[in-house]
Amino acid sequence: MPEVPGSSGATPDPTGPPTHIPAEGTDAYVGLPEADARRRAAERGWSTVRVLPPDAVITMEYIAGRLNLAVEAGRVVRAWEG
């Protein structure tokens, strides 16, 4: 999975203590170009960013501090935490 540039690239331990979750809502990312959304997520403190196509089949484990972005045609069409 693509990670935010400058992040450790390590997957946070979902069984460990919760990581920082930015107060900003995820709706703020919808409509942004992918690169801008990644940059904004890094600036706001999201520990991990996962970019997926809108119809991706994904695991549903919750990871505190992870921002999920569904991207279509280079723009974020959905964003959610975990």
pLDDT attached to residue 36 = 98
Q: Which residue type occupies 40?
A: R
pLDDT attached to residue 43 = 93
Say if 43 falls within a structural domain.
Answer: yes
pLDDT attached to residue 81 = 92
Q: Where are the beta strands (DSSP E) in the chain?
A: 48-52, 66-72, 75-81
* CA angle at 43 for the pair 35 and 79, rounded to the nearest 5°: 55
CATH number at residue 76: 3.30.10.10
pLDDT in tens, 45-80: 999 999 999 999 998 889 989 999 999 999 999 999
Say if 72 falls within a structural domain.
Answer: yes
- Tell me the pTM: 0.73
Number of domains, the chain: 1
Say if 59 falls within a structural domain.
Answer: yes
Say if 3 falls within a structural domain.
Answer: no
Parent domain of 48 = 30-81
pLDDT in tens, 2-20: 544 444 444 545 554 445 6
Say if 65 falls within a structural domain.
Answer: yes
pLDDT attached to residue 24 = 77
Say if 60 falls within a structural domain.
Answer: yes
